[in-house]
Amino acid sequence: MDEETEVVAAQVGNIIEFQGMKGRVEKVNDNSVIVDITMDKNFDEHEMFEKTVVNHKRYTIVEE
């Protein structure tokens, strides 16, 4: 079995990047974060909901 690298979870208020989008973390769960993506410059083009769930393994922290 492969040894997993430790995932550093974002905190509420952090800006994260995932799938080419940016958002502000609103809630931290065990395996994921809830992110407000309305701040992303391309939000209107994606026709998405205002919030989304992102697994801790799928984002990088851009700003703390």
- Other beta carbons within 10 angstroms of residue 61's beta carbon come to 14
pLDDT tens across 23-53, in order?
999 999 999 999 999 998 888 876 778 999 9
How many Å apart are CA 55 and CA 33, to the nearest integer? 6
What percentage of the chain exceeds 70 in pLDDT? 91
Question: Can you give 1-64 as a three-state secondary structure string?
Answer: CCCCCCCCCCCCCCEEEECCEEEEEEEECCCEEEEECCCCCCHHHHCCCCEEEEEHHHCEEEEC
- Whole-structure pTM value: 0.85
